[in-house]
Amino acid sequence: MIYSLISSRNPLIPNNLTIQKPPSKPSLSPLRPIHCCLPQNPKNIVNKPSRPHTHPLNRVIITLNQVPPNNTKEKKVYDERRGSQEMLVLCGFGYWVQGFRCFPWLALNFHMAHNLNLHPSTLQLVQNSGNLPMVAKPLYGVLSDALYIGGAHRIPYISIGVLLQVLSWGLLALIPVAGEALPSLMACVLLSNFGASITEVAKDALIAEYGQKNKINGLQSYAFMGLAAGGILGNFLGGFFLLKTQQPKFLFLVFTALLSLQLAISLATREDSLGLPQLSNLNLVRKSISGSIRKQYSDLMMAISEESICGPLTWIVASISMVPILSGSIFCYQTQCLNLDPSIIGMSRVTGQLMLLSMTVLYDRFWKNIPMRKLIGTVQILYASSLLLDLFLVKQINLKLQIPNEVFALCFSGLAETIAQFKLLPFQVLFASLAPPGCEGSLTSFLASALCLSSMVSGFLGVGLASLLGITYADYSSLPVGIGIQFLAALMPLWWLFQVPSSQTVTEKEKKRGRSKRTRRNRRVGRVVFGSVCVYRRERESEARR
């Protein structure tokens, strides 16, 4: 309706509406007028203006209180910018803390080696057995995808995992008995890794889902940068404080304070501000918890069975699990035979993390355009060669080259571990891009669990190899033979390198092919997805409603 008069008492409150020229100066009114064009209709005009209008379309100024300001685009940009900032704080600091976990773990390793006097094989067995909760990561991923807590399904799991870590490291820092007996120490380690695994699964799924929603590929590179930055500072400060204080409990207490800060950040962040899909209570048919988990498990198995995912996953798991790692024996040899102090061990890890950070930046800038098969083959050869560097230290070849043990350990001791960590990055980027919608947490957690299980198998093989060769804290004469076996085992995965995609172009084709298969399957069963709640209906029922 078009009214004829505007109140002269208050020009901001329209009593009527008339056809007039738009104001020459911008109005100071908080209500933004809406300019539109309507055809002239004399029937709707009560008082026609004295000035005739010659144009068939007349500009009408409508000022209504119920019309919201026309700032939808600006608000969307603001919300996206705010969500990206909160995402950066939450996940950036979270991955940094995850890399900083080497800070208390360095102290824990020295505590077990020097205060508890554990055997090298026992030390390595404790290290690998403590990772048992991480094997169950697929379960955490399925729960994260299927079950919402308070309308969100990522950040609540991050908070739960951080809380468990606060409890475990807090017990080791504040209760002396917890770190003196091996059973209580093992219980705290298991609780810490249980919480860390839940947090890692939720963060990996969060950045995978956020990257797919905003069409940002390669967020895992920035996650690796955060991990490397945390590892650099953690190893540096860990070796320094451990050398100065000789009190591992002080390092446990500092890390507990950092975890408390991470917990506060996660509790203050709302998942809906990140722009992720939320659970709706309207027009949803809720399934039972067991039904949701079974459905999510079925989707995960279907995604893993795809050739584009199954082949690379098989290769990376086999390439890790078949190499026996002698990390416990090497660590005890460096600290007991070579008498390297904690600062040297910590600084060697700092050097490795600096190299990891540099390699991650180079990958994000240049190397991700290299064919994946060629890149992974080169990295595997470098990894096998870096294992032989420990042989230089054991045989004291570095002294013949006028290189002191401290300098050699500082520069090359952590190189093999660094290359092994970097080898995982291309696969994490690949699987994150191939994750089906709604299955991000399940697939990324399955990958993390498979990698963790393969590293545990590698560690157990190392324990068996050390026992078979007779490597003890008093006899390291067979350690060179074990290093040679490591080198040969690391070269074997090159024989089935064809399982790795040759290029990113092939990966994109396989991704589209996999999505078409899932689409056909969903059409057959009539799958309708609302957030994380799936409603099933038959195709005949759908056609009947139409």
Q: Kindly report, residue by residue over 147-169, the tens digit of the pLDDT.
A: 888 778 788 999 999 999 999 99
Domain that includes residue 153, residue range: 75-275
Please give the pLDDT value at position 288: 63
Q: What is the mean pLDDT of residues 5-20?
A: 40
Contact 11, 63 (CB under 8 A): no
pLDDT reading at 264 higher than 90: yes
The reported pLDDT for the residue numbered 148 is 81
Using the predicted structure, report yes or no on whether residue 291 has a pLDDT greater than 50: yes
As a whole-number percent, the residues of the chain with pLDDT over 70 amount to: 74
**Per-residue model confidence (pLDDT) at position 330:** 85
220 and 367 part of one domain: no
The answer to whether residues 308 and 252 belong to one domain is no
Count up the domains in the chain and report the number.
2
Burial class (CB in 10 A: 0-12, 13-18, 19+), 108: buried
> Is 377 inside any structural domain?
yes
Q: Name the token pair of 311.
A: 């082949």
* Mean pLDDT value across the chain: 75
The answer as to whether 107 is a domain residue is yes
DSSP state, 502? S
Asked if 324 and 431 sit in the same domain, the reply is: yes
Lowest mean pLDDT among 280-284, 468-472, 487-491: 280-284
d(CA 13, CA 474): 93
Query: What's the confidence (pLDDT) of residue 352?
Result: 83
> Is 16 a residue whose pLDDT tops 70?
no
Residue 181 within a domain: yes
Q: Which of 228, 246, 275 is the last residue of a domain?
A: 275
224-252 tens-digit pLDDT = 888 888 888 888 888 788 878 778 888 99
Alpha-carbon distances of 533 from 152, 277, 353, 381, rounded to whole Å: 12, 11, 41, 46
pLDDT of 429 strictly over 70: yes
Same-domain check for residues 318 and 206 = no
Quote the pLDDT of residue 71: 62
> Is residue 444 within 8 Å of 141, Cβ to Cβ?
yes
Q: What is the mean pLDDT of residues 361-387?
A: 90
pLDDT at 1: 38
- Average pLDDT value for residue range 442-463: 84
**Rg, C-alpha atoms of the chain:** 31
**Model pLDDT for residues 131-146, shown as the tens digit of each residue:** 888 888 878 877 887 7
pLDDT band with cut points at 50, 70 and 90 for residue 472 = confident
- 243 and 299 share one domain: no
Q: CA–CA separation, 265 vs 96, rounded Å?
A: 13
Same domain, 263 and 213: yes
pLDDT given for residue 112 in this prediction:
84
Q: Measured in whole angstroms, how far is the alpha carbon of residue 97 from the centre of its chain?
A: 12
- The answer to whether 147 touches 292, Cβ cutoff 8 Å, is yes
Average pLDDT for 105-131: 79
- Model confidence, pTM: 0.62
- pLDDT (average), residues 512-523: 47
Residue 528: the pLDDT is 34
User: Does residue 49 lie within any of the structural domains?
Assistant: no
Both 268 and 315 in one domain: the answer is no
Residues 236 and 200 placed together within one structural domain of the fold: yes
- Residue pair 375/426 in contact (Cβ under 8 Å)? The answer is yes
- The helix (H) or strand (E) run that includes residue 530 is strand 527-530
3-state secondary structure 315-366: HHHHHHHCCCCCHHHHHHHHHHHCCCCHHHHHHHHHHHHHHHHHHHHHHHHC
d(CA 403, CA 249) in angstroms, rounded, equals 35
* Mean pLDDT value of segment 113-137: 78
What distance in Å separates the CA atoms of residue 517 and residue 535, rounded to the nearest whole number? 19
**pLDDT at residue 48 greater than cutoff 70:** no
- 162 falls within a domain: yes
Size (the chain), residues: 546
What are the pLDDT digits (tens) for 18-45? 444 444 444 444 444 444 444 444 444 4
Per-residue pLDDT at 69: 47
Q: Do 315 and 263 share a structural domain?
A: no
| Structural domain contains residue 25 | no
The reply to whether 369 falls in a domain is: yes
CATH number of the structural domain spanning residue 168:
1.20.1250.20
Mean local confidence (pLDDT), 86-97: 89
User: CA nearest 392: which of 450, 333, 339?
Assistant: 333
Q: Do 244 and 360 fall into the same domain?
A: no
Which one is predicted more confidently, 27 or 305? 305
Per the CB < 8 A criterion, the answer to whether 425 and 356 are in contact is no
Q: Give the pLDDT score at 76.
A: 67
Total Cβ atoms within 10 A of residue 156: 19
User: In the predicted model, what is the mean pLDDT of residues 282-286?
Assistant: 41
Asked if residue 52 has pLDDT above 80, the reply is no
Average pLDDT over residues 369-373: 89
Q: What pLDDT was estimated at residue 73?
A: 67
Residue 475 within a domain: yes
How does residue 125 score in pLDDT terms, banded at 50, 70 and 90? Answer: confident
Whether residue 268 sits in one domain with residue 298: no
Percent of the chain with pLDDT over 90: 18
**For the ranges 38-52, 80-94, 456-470, which has the lowest average pLDDT?**
38-52
| pLDDT (average), residues 50-56 | 45
Average confidence (pLDDT) over 475-498: 91
Judge if 214 and 316 occupy the same domain. Answer: no
Q: How confident is the model at residue 503 (pLDDT cuts 50, 70, 90)?
A: low
